[in-house]
């Protein structure tokens, strides 16, 4: 076996050709390849946060297995001065710390890119690529004499490469050490060894390598006045502001962190001076029970929600149907992931739209909300609770792993103190006294929404028996066809009311002939894909859908454009199905741009698929094709 032999402590070697090369600032993709359970998450998180604190926009991505310890895991950071937050194919800088995935990790680096690796052992010659730069740091050897405890040694390896990166790409070292100090505040004995490990990594690069690399960061104001937060945390805080008091849930990745963040922030924001906790959180025995608890609480007048993912949504569908017919407010956050069972389900997807929109048996349909950013997760948490009460029906918020579990830039959360929650049509005792007769399902206002009462409101009036079906307008039991049909038709009127109340799409329409529709996290790579198309001479109008049923703006946008693309992250173009079904439009009017491989859809995918179709459509361009950047670079 032939190995490439390298000096372990090469003096004066160059890290990878910084000398003379044009330096690229704040514009690269870095990926950390780690072993799950090795403690890398903390170091990787600090890396992203350090760049963010230097004012540099970052978007993070966890790519992780269904595993506690041992399987490969990756952490990717998109660093972009222009604020591109979507995924871009190709890795500029790979920190390869997992021998098991070394080969594929090396293969994923763009030509001219950089591999940072532990060269304590020789690199197999088969892993050599002529078109990338190797930056060897003998991390294992460096930590060996410094940290006698093997467990500490493994953990501090992560801190060592963070220290090395600070020198390699010019991260302000004070920012990192400051973060270590604040992170371990109160556990002061951990600060010194962590800073020591950082210095070991940093000093090795400064002493032995000719850094920094031509990929660097520098202070910027592009992320000024921003916060760095994941969508699940944002949704949890929003649920608190939206007045949710009951949360019932069952652990399932990638939704678990939403319920856990709700508890964490409730403990901070919802405990009064006397120690009373103005919330109730139940980790249920399964998703059926979680949904049942939410519906019981909603029936009894508390704002309640659950968070789940695909398999949980499946288990909740019977209850969702009951809540639709019984007209109970409920909010369900679906943090979507890929397919059933385990494995791929820790990857992201927008695959639950149809299952959510028409969840359950009988004629059912549910309003959906599609947040794209942490700020929208916060806002929609409140909007969903308001809509659930207003429409007396379940509202499903369709987030996904990409948005829910990854840190993204966001505007600081804001709240208007005079904002009032919309509790919908609920009659209190005085209201009941003022009316002659109470009919729970009478469409008094013509919007399909009846007035409801809460248990215990009045001694004489307003009590009724809640059933799924088989009732007249006064909630009396009947199986009469006329009563059933009238009720179902009223629910359709309510659906039309929902159409007016769900968030309108965000439309940018300059009167072009080509438009693209997208929603949720497919929005993240869109600006970059559009910029690249514009460089090719094609400009597109855009519409980001935010709610189902579709408001009139959605139909108008489709009507106005000769070519309408729809980008989404599932195989079956589920949003297209919803559009065709809800708006009764010709399926040929919408050309789906799809990705469903488990990662989030990349700017490259959208750019390439749209470009190909535009050729087929013979759309004229303002400039010659090929003017745009293509990535990864071909040479």
Q: What is 473-489 written as a DSSP string?
A: TTS-B---HHHHHHHHH
* Residue 327 CB, nearest approach to other proteins (Å): 12
- Specify the residue, 94 or 382, whose C-beta has the smaller distance to other proteins: 382
- Specify the residue, 155 or 410, whose C-beta has the smaller distance to other proteins: 410
- Specify the residue, 428 or 612, whose C-beta has the smaller distance to other proteins: 428
* Residue 227 CB, nearest approach to other proteins (Å): 4
* Residue 245 CB, nearest approach to other proteins (Å): 4
Please check whether residue 519 is in contact with residue 526, taking contact to mean a CB–CB distance below 8 angstroms. Answer: no
Q: What is 183-242 written as a DSSP string?
A: HTTT-GGGHHHHHHHHHHHHHHHHHHB----SEE----STTTT-EEEEHHHHHHHHHHHT
- Name the 3-class secondary structure at 70: coil
* Residue 431 CB, nearest approach to other proteins (Å): 11
Residue among 221, 208, 192, 223 nearest 60 (CA) = 223
* Residue 114 CB, nearest approach to other proteins (Å): 29
Please check whether residue 545 is in contact with residue 499, taking contact to mean a CB–CB distance below 8 angstroms. Answer: no
- Specify the residue, 68 or 434, whose C-beta has the smaller distance to other proteins: 434
Q: What is the dihedral of CA 371, 377, 378, 383, to 10 degrees?
A: 50
Length of the chain: 635
Return the structure tokens found at 533: 């198309």
- Name the 3-class secondary structure at 361: coil
- Specify the residue, 130 or 414, whose C-beta has the smaller distance to other proteins: 414
List all residues 6 or more positions away from 362 whose beta carbon is below 8 Å from its beta carbon: 321, 325, 469
Please check whether residue 58 is in contact with residue 48, taking contact to mean a CB–CB distance below 8 angstroms. Answer: yes
- Specify the residue, 392 or 453, whose C-beta has the smaller distance to other proteins: 453
* Residue 264 CB, nearest approach to other proteins (Å): 11
- Specify the residue, 105 or 327, whose C-beta has the smaller distance to other proteins: 327
Beta 72-80 vs 27-35: how paired, if at all? antiparallel
Please list, residue by residue across 109-128, b when 16 or more beta carbons sit within 10 angstroms of its beta carbon and e when fewer do. Answer: bbebbbbbbbbeeebeeebe
* Residue 26 CB, nearest approach to other proteins (Å): 18
* Residue 456 CB, nearest approach to other proteins (Å): 5
* Residue 629 CB, nearest approach to other proteins (Å): 31
* Residue 228 CB, nearest approach to other proteins (Å): 6
Other Cβ atoms less than 10 A from the Cβ of 410: the count is 20
- Specify the residue, 20 or 412, whose C-beta has the smaller distance to other proteins: 412
- Specify the residue, 33 or 331, whose C-beta has the smaller distance to other proteins: 331
Nearest-angstrom CA–CA distance, 404 and 292: 24
* Residue 287 CB, nearest approach to other proteins (Å): 10
- Specify the residue, 200 or 326, whose C-beta has the smaller distance to other proteins: 326
Return the structure tokens found at 369: 């909300």
CA angle 136, 17, 112 (to 5 degrees): 85
List all residues 6 or more positions away from 453 whose beta carbon is below 8 Å from its beta carbon: 426, 427, 432, 438, 440, 462, 463, 464
Nearest-angstrom CA–CA distance, 620 and 538: 8
Please check whether residue 548 is in contact with residue 501, taking contact to mean a CB–CB distance below 8 angstroms. Answer: no
Cα–Cα distance list, 533 to 211, 490, 541, 610 (Å): 36, 46, 12, 8
Nearest-angstrom CA–CA distance, 333 and 176: 35
- Specify the residue, 471 or 576, whose C-beta has the smaller distance to other proteins: 471
* Residue 454 CB, nearest approach to other proteins (Å): 7
* Residue 560 CB, nearest approach to other proteins (Å): 39
Nearest-angstrom CA–CA distance, 586 and 231: 35
- Specify the residue, 264 or 577, whose C-beta has the smaller distance to other proteins: 264
Please check whether residue 464 is in contact with residue 475, taking contact to mean a CB–CB distance below 8 angstroms. Answer: yes
- Specify the residue, 304 or 523, whose C-beta has the smaller distance to other proteins: 304
* Residue 418 CB, nearest approach to other proteins (Å): 10
Order of strands, edge to edge, in the sheet holding 72-80?
Answer: 133-137, 109-118, 91-96, 27-35, 72-80, 58-63, 407-410, 227-230
- Specify the residue, 52 or 161, whose C-beta has the smaller distance to other proteins: 52
């Amino acid at each position: 076996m032939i190995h490439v032999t390298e000096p372990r402590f090469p003096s004066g070697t160059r890290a990878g050709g910084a000398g003379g090369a044009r330096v690229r600032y704040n514009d690269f993709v870095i990926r950390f390849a780690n072993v799950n359970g090795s403690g890398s998450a903390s170091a990787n998180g600090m890396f992203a946060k350090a760049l963010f604190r230097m004012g540099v926009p970052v978007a993070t991505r966890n790519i992780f297995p269904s595993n506690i310890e041992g399987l490969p895991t990756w952490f990717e950071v998109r660093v972009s001065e222009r604020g591109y937050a979507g995924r871009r194919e190709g890795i500029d800088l790979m920190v390869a710390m997992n021998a098991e995935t070394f080969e594929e990790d090396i293969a994923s680096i763009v030509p001219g890119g950089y591999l940072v690796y532990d060269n304590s052992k020789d690199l197999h010659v088969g892993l050599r690529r002529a078109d990338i730069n190797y930056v060897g740091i003998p991390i294992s050897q460096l930590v060996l004499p410094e940290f006698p405890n093997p467990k500490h040694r493994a953990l501090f390896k992560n801190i060592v490469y963070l220290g090395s990166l600070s020198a390699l790409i010019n991260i302000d070292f004070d920012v990192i050490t400051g973060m270590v100090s604040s992170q371990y505040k109160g556990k002061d004995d951990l600060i010194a060894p962590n800073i020591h490990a950082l210095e070991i990594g940093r000093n090795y690069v400064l002493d032995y390598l000719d850094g920094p690399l031509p990929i660097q960061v520098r202070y910027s104001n592009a992320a000024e006045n921003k916060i760095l937060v994941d969508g699940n945390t944002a949704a949890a805080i929003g649920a608190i502001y939206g007045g949710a008091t009951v949360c019932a849930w069952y652990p399932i990745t990638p939704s678990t962190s939403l319920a856990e963040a709700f508890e964490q922030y409730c403990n901070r924001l919802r405990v009064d001076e006397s120690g009373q906790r103005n919330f109730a959180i139940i980790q249920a025995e399964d998703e059926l029970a979680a949904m049942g608890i939410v519906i019981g609480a909603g029936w009894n007048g508390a704002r309640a929600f659950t968070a789940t993912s695909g398999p949980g949504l499946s288990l909740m569908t019977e209850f969702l149907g009951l809540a639709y017919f019984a007209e109970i407010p409920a909010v369900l956050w679906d943090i979507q992931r890929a397919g059933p069972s385990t494995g791929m389900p820790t990857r992201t997807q927008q695959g639950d739209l149809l299952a959510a929109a028409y969840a359950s048996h009988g004629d059912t349909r549910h309003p959906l909300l599609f947040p794209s950013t942490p700020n929208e997760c916060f806002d929609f948490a409140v909007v969903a609770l308001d809509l659930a009460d207003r429409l007396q029906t379940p509202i499903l918020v369709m987030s996904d792993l990409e948005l829910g579990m990854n840190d993204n830039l966001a505007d600081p959360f804001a709240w208007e103190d005079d904002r009032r929650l919309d509790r919908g049509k609920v009659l209190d005792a005085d209201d009941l006294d003022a009316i002659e007769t109470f009919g729970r399902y009478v469409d008094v206002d013509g919007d399909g929404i009846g007035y409801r009462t809460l248990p215990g409101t009045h001694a004489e009036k307003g009590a009724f028996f809640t059933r799924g079906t088989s009732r007249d307008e006064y909630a009396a039991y009947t199986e009469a066809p006329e009563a059933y049909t009238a009720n179902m038709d009223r629910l359709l009127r309510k659906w039309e009311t929902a159409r007016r109340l769900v968030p309108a799409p965000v439309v940018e329409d300059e009167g072009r002939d080509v438009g693209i529709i997208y929603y949720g996290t497919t929005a993240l790579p869109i600006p970059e894909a559009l910029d690249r198309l514009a460089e090719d001479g094609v400009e597109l109008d855009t519409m980001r859908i935010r709610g189902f049923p579709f408001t009139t703006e959605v139909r108008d946008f489709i009507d106005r454009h000769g070519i309408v693309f729809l980008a989404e992250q599932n195989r079956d173009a589920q949003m297209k199905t919803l559009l065709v079904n809800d708006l009764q439009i010709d399926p040929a009017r919408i050309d789906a741009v799809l990705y469903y491989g488990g990662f989030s859809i990349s700017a490259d995918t959208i750019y390439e698929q749209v470009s190909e179709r535009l050729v087929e459509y013979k759309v004229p361009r303002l400039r010659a094709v090929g003017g745009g950047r293509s990535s990864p670079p071909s040479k």
